[in-house]
Structure 1
Amino acid sequence: MKHFLLIYVIFLVPALVFAQPTVPGSEALGSWNITVTIEDEELENLGLFRHGVYTDEGFPAWLEVKLSGFSTFVGYYVGYEGSARPISEIHFDEEEQKYHFSIPPQWMDINEDIYFEFALENDTLEGFKVLDGNTLHFTGVRAPSLKREEPPVWGSPKNLLDDNMSRWIIPQNNQFRMADGVLVNEDIGGNLITNERFDDFKLSVEFRYPEGSNSGIYLRGRYEIQIADHYGMEINDMLMGGIYGFIEPSVNAAKQAEEWQKMEITLVGRHVTVVLNDIEVISNRPIPGITGGSLNSNEGEPGPIMLQGDHGPIDFRKIVITPSAN
């Protein structure tokens, strides 16, 4: 009889889980690509700047809404800067059909939590956030799966380095320059962005940095591969070779500062593989969404390679990209 009851319970519990009614507000579950409108006055108030290639469409952000247990919504948020931040609870007002949550500031020197409120209509988010007394409106669309039906067929490699930097958009306050075939960034300045946009690709780079430096490479201008002086540090999702704030490398393969290092990156859809100094540190992992500092949140579109110039010095002696031909 005991065995019968045990079997009954084993089969009953999954049935109860799958038979539960739809949770009010569950239409918002999933990942959302967000565009935040920030007017010039608000930019000045917040001490932010608009990158030279940003358009008036706004600043990028990303939101994930998840169900924890039977009825509690939680999630993650990525803003204009910083990493993915956990949301302890996203509240849903069934009468008003509105959602709201708050998160503490991350890198901004403000004393109040950031408040978000939005509604879902025609599968589009419409809402606002209150940041240091400024009300900023935003819209959101569902993030695409980026699933590929066929494996990539690789085209011909392209060398992105030449003496006159012809393959790059030169930013305001540019500190990048070519010296003896090496792309050098010696001071804090604008980010360097390729003229060409890419879908799926393999990227091969060789680089070095001084002690304590910090930089990064943005894939499609949206997903930052961290480059920083992290030799000997404990593994975390902000470590050299990881996807900033999302995916930690399996091992710390960073060399000491001033040494030349190499990285091979393969991006297919939203799946990424990273080989750092001949060690595979990320193996075909899905990138959940955009990282802080992205050019935009249009994940379904091709995007450029962007080199971070606003953090620290770095040299590149090789940047070769092999785009998918299909």
Structure 2
Amino acid sequence: MRIKTLFAALFAAILATALASTVFAQDANPFLGRWDMTVTPADGQPYPQWMELTEDGGRMEGRVQPRGGAWHPIAGAHVESGKLIVDVAEEGHGAGSGSEISWVLTSPSVGRLTGVETHGDVTGPALVGVKAPLLDRPMPKHWTKPRPLFDGKNLKGWEPIENVENNKWVARDGELVNDNPEVPGQKMRPAANIMTTEKFQDFKLHIEVNCPEGGNSGIYLRGRYELQVGTEGGKLPSHEMGAIYSWYPPPAGAKNDLGRWTTFDVTLVGRHVTVLRDGKMYHDNVELPGPTGGALDSNEAEPGPFYLQGDHHGVIQYRNITISVPKK
């Protein structure tokens, strides 16, 4: 009995030491982890970005999701006089390539960053970061009956966003159409995107799309995570039809098969997403590390709308858009 008591006491002491070491490590570097960033220019509207920092052998590494395009590695990061200085490499440049763009950040409270972006000697936009939420939720057992998000007759429940003066979205023949054809030899003005007026948290989405050859669009889940529609020329699989843009490519050997109707069934719970295309598994409960380029905001804990990209060229057609949500 005494041996058991001594063993229990010893185990408790070891556990306490391990926990204390973990807490100390976290306190020693409060900058590690995933951060939902908001950038506010002096004369403009705030926009989202995202950052993840890790440590390997005492060296800080990481990646950044800029306002648009794909995520990319940072060039480096270090802590100096209590401030985190992140060397934000330009897109297409790897770590260590160097960059004149830096983020200078402090952590005034747990789970929060504040600072500025600098461009050489010039101080730029203000930065605020919050620790990205885990969003670790179980799969709901029951879902509501699917209901339409688009009635096929008009744009009720939808509104254009960005470049609204050049809105090309129309309801036509039961379809939601971005009537924005490419005209050879003519420079195109950016057209509007479109989003639902209703916001959602966890859901099952059914949506059908017909994207022409060379067309480019995207389905944004909660307005933050892009399911790629169309093509960006085929150079990067993670930028092609059915990809979770820049995070996960479609299955190996998958074809874009543009110019025909295709169906996506998407389940998003927390930050885990499952995507089937025409009944074939494209993404099986994969984790979304953070927002993709083009996100409306970086408020990952909050519900958000669906939005469809219309600012690229191509007469993109959507139809039969329905949603189910968890039953309460």
Query: How far apart, in 2, do the equivalents of 1:205 and 1:320 lie?
Result: 7
1:105 paired to 2:90: yes
What is the deviation of 1:230?
7.2
TM-score normalized with structure 1 length: 0.81
Aligned 8 A contact 2:74 2:89 in 1: no
> What is the letter of the counterpart of residue 35 of structure 1?
T
Query: How far apart, in 1, do the equivalents of 2:253 and 2:324 lie?
Result: 26
Select 2:225's aligned residue among 223, 226, 232.
223
Q: 1:140 to 1:134 in 2, by over 3 A?
A: same
Residue matched to 2:176: 183
CA RMSD in angstroms comes to: 2.6
Residue matched to 2:213: 211
Q: 1:25 to 1:212 in 2, by over 3 A?
A: farther
Select 1:34's aligned residue among 31, 37, 52.
37
Query: How far apart, in 1, do the equivalents of 2:229 and 2:253 lie?
Result: 12
Tell me which moved more, 260-269 or 96-105: 96-105
> What is the letter of the counterpart of residue 159 of structure 2?
I
1:73 paired to 2:60: yes
Aligned 8 A contact 2:215 2:231 in 1: yes
Select 1:154's aligned residue among 117, 140, 143.
143
Query: How far apart, in 2, do the equivalents of 1:126 and 1:279 lie?
Result: 44
Residue matched to 1:87: 74
1:165 paired to 2:152: no
What is the deviation of 1:167?
1.2
> Structure 1, residues 231-260: CA drift from partner, whole Å, max 9, x if none?
9x5773222212111122233434422111
Query: How far apart, in 1, do the equivalents of 2:204 and 2:239 lie?
Result: 22
Residue matched to 2:124: 135
Tell me which moved more, 126-135 or 180-189: 126-135
1:316 paired to 2:298: no
SS of alignment partner, residue 22 of structure 1: helix
Q: How do residues 41-52 of structure 1 correspond to structure 2 at under 5 angstroms?
A: 43=44
Q: How do residues 165-314 of structure 1 correspond to structure 2 at under 5 angstroms?
A: 165-171=155-161, 172=164, 173-187=166-180, 188-229=190-231, 236-313=237-314, 314=316
> What is the letter of the counterpart of residue 293 of structure 2?
G
Structure 1 gaps, min length 5: 1-17, 44-55
Query: How far apart, in 2, do the equivalents of 1:152 and 1:220 lie?
Result: 21
Aligned 8 A contact 1:36 1:61 in 2: yes
Query: How far apart, in 1, do the equivalents of 2:302 and 2:109 lie?
Result: 22
Residue matched to 1:10: none
> What is the letter of the counterpart of residue 50 of structure 2?
W
Aligned 8 A contact 2:139 2:269 in 1: no
Query: How far apart, in 1, do the equivalents of 2:144 and 2:27 lie?
Result: 48
Query: How far apart, in 2, do the equivalents of 1:237 and 1:258 lie?
Result: 20
Residue matched to 2:13: none
Query: How far apart, in 1, do the equivalents of 2:197 and 2:242 lie?
Result: 25
Q: 1:185 to 1:297 in 2, by over 3 A?
A: same
TM-score normalized with structure 2 length: 0.80
> What is the letter of the counterpart of residue 237 of structure 2?
N
SS of alignment partner, residue 170 of structure 1: strand
Q: Kindly, what percent of the aligned residue pairs are identical?
A: 36
